[in-house]
Structure 1
Amino acid sequence: MTERTKAGPIPSAQSRFDRRLLPPMLLGSVLNPINSTIVSVALVPIGVALGAPPAQTAWLVSALYLATALGQPVMGRLIDIFGPRRVFLVGTGLVGVGGVVGTLAPNLGVLIVARIILGFGTCAGYPASMALVRSEARRTGHDSPASVLTALAVAGQTVMAVGPLLGGLLIGVGGWRATFALNVPLAVVAVMLGLLRLPERAGTDPAPRHDRIAGRLDLPGMALFAVMLIALLLFLMDLRPDHWYLLVVTFVTGTAFARRELRAATPFVDLRVLGGNVPLLATYGRALVAYVVAYGFLYGFAQWTEDGYGLTPFHAGLVLIPTALMAITVSVATGKRSSVRGKLLTGAVGQIVACLLMLTLGADSPLWMLLVVALVFGVPQGSNSLALQNAVYHQADPERTGSSSGLLRTFSYLGSLVATATTAASYGQRADTHGLHTLAWVMLAAGVLYLLLTVFDRTLRHATTGR
């Protein structure tokens, strides 16, 4: 029964979010940010060890995002069908496999394979967490506390900013291979937490029959989506006029994918619903341009501090600490505020100011200027990811929370791939100051576009995160 106090009824355990789910949710959600960020300070040491210039080591970044951009909606759809537990366990197990392959890799090619495995493996954590939040809301009859979504955002932001420092520490102790070996114990802990804490059938229909699984997965739709996305990403990762045929492949398979999904009984991506959900589409567009800025800073700035400014990997990681501290502060301060639009505008202005400051940096800049730039970048890091996550949770079809959350990450990784391609093109053989400024101009353009997409989106005026 529900107890009472003078202030009113005290919710029973059955009506409260199950806090035992938080450890696997948080760990699963940060596996991808860990692998996204920890490599940022390892690119230069890997290049030196294997004799590869920045244009080649950039594939270590692109390979992970190619895998995650494709794998996120696939994992999300599997979670919608089978529930978070099974997919979470398989995904985190793959993280361990990728860690072993990367640790033992003899050359750059095998390292790229390891990053692909890590990309697919880390796809499960975030959509599984969002599906668990939704299933708990159904179980309790109440929206999950804003603090839960805030905790997921803060965990990801913390790892994104602290990852380079952790990478620097690991490189100092065990070399760049230690940044891959870290995945093995993390995967073991994640699998154990998943086995012990995650419910058997949360967030899905009771035990789908095997004769219906293939139909519900929409394998032809997934295949067309994969070809379309791979062709587009390969074009973005190496922008050259003679690669025009990749755009043709993208267009043809994209058209076939759209026709398939509009006719399928159980589509992989329900374009009929998605096409009518303008607010959700706008959120995906904002995610793409936001992560052009975020990952342009993360990879471009980190490489420049080592190659163009002369810091060690450890000290390059230290310079990014203010980003983490500011991101956490902004997320905690705004996490319970209901306005999504306010968070997005804060992030938009923060991006523009940070990019303008980045244009003032040079090889002779005092260290405190680098710290100021890192601090300001923490504002959009803390505000944007939280606002985008909250927006998708409340804009998406509740029955497709997993796949909708996966698509958010897909658009985010499209932005990160644009940032990676731009970083590689800006730097060429060396991450110098001229390349940094070229990158900063592209980031500034993306930041302005983000601001315009937010200011002119009237649907945001009444959008709230809930309580």
Structure 2
Amino acid sequence: REKTVAEILSVRSFWILVAIFGLQITANLGVYSHIPIYAQDLGFSPIQASWIYSVAAFHAALGKVIFGKLLDIIAARRTLWISIACQGLGIVVIIFSQNIYTLLFSVMIMGLGLGGTMPLMNSTFSIAFDNANFGKARGLSVPFMVPMQVISAPLSGWFYDVYGNYTLAFSINVVLCILAGFVVIFLKLPER
């Protein structure tokens, strides 16, 4: 049966999914938007820094396939944890990167995790709200997630301007991944 807006907003899983994906995407935007500048600060050329987006994009595309398959094999919650762990680990590696190889490795890991975000978001909302309410639930989630996401990149830039590096900004984004992973504990989805 089709649910009303009020009914969807009263479902605990709705708010848990908003928190998980809001935090997860916020963490990524706070890092990805600054990686070329970060790479140049480490002494890499603008061309080397630009490769990073290509590597990240390729692995994000690959992540969609991998996490889509994982959803078929293991539970959605476990798949979410793996995706979030990839993103958090990738950010940690970025923080400690001193050469182009570790930087590329870090965006490969992050890209895989980020690539899983959309299939996971759509699948978990579909599982939580069934096909009759999926579109409405996803649409309602956007106004609650976007405010977190739009401040992420400027906030990372502000931390860079104030502290002269990205260590604190990227570390905060690792914490956001940890929080997203913690919130997954509370996600209860019906069996498929």
- TM surpasses 0.5: yes
2:28 maps to which of 30, 35, 39 = 35
Are 1:171 and 2:160 matched, yes or no? yes
Whether the 8 Å contact between 2:67 and 2:119 is mirrored in structure 1 is yes
Amino acid at match of 1:57: A
The two structures have a TM-score, normalised by structure 1, of: 0.35
Matched letter for residue 194 of structure 1: V
Residue from 91, 103, 108 that aligns with 2:100: 108
Match in the other structure for 1:118: 110
Specify which structure has the bigger relative contact order, considering alpha-carbon pairs within 8 angstroms and separated by 6 or more residues.
2
Structure 2 length as normaliser, TM-score? 0.77
Q: Distance in 2 between matches of 1:144 and 1:54?
A: 42
Could you say which residue in structure 2 is the equivalent of 1:25? 17
Q: Which runs of 5 or more residues in structure 2 are unaligned?
A: none
Gaps of 5+ in 1: 1-10, 205-467
Q: 1:24 Cα deviation (Å)?
A: 4.0
* Residues 183, 82 of structure 1: alpha-carbon distance in 2 compared, 3 angstrom cutoff: same
- Distance of 1:176 and 1:119 partners within structure 2: 19
1:37 Cα deviation (Å)? 5.8
Asked if 1 retains the 8 angstrom alpha-carbon contact of 2:84 and 2:177, the reply is yes
| Separation of aligned partners in 1, 2:35 and 2:104 | 14
User: Contact 1:42–1:176 (CA<8 Å) still a contact in 2?
Assistant: no
The whole-number CA distance in structure 2 between the counterparts of 1:145 and 1:93 is: 27
3-state DSSP class of the match of 1:123?
A: helix
Q: Given residue 168 of structure 1, which amino acid in structure 2 is its aligned partner?
A: G
Q: How far did residue 120 of structure 1 move? A: 1.5
Change in 2 beyond 3 A, CA 1:168/1:112? same
Measure the CA separation in 1 of the matches of 2:186 and 2:115: 20
Aligned residues: 184
Cα distance change, pair 179–118 in 1 and its aligned pair in 2 (3 A):
farther
- The equivalences for 1:46-195 within 5 A come to 46-47=39-40, 49-138=41-130, 142-144=132-134, 146=136, 148-154=137-143, 158=147, 161-174=150-163, 175-195=165-185
CA-CA distance at 1:88 after TM superposition: 0.4
Q: For 1:302-451, what aligned pairs fall within 5 Å after superposition?
A: none
Separation of aligned partners in 2, 1:154 and 1:107: 39
Q: 1:68–1:123: 8 Å Cα contact kept in structure 2?
A: yes
Contact 1:24 1:190 in 2 (8 A): no
| Identity fraction in percent | 20
Q: Could you say which residue in structure 2 is the equivalent of 1:456? A: none
Provide the aligned C-alpha RMSD in A. Answer: 2.9
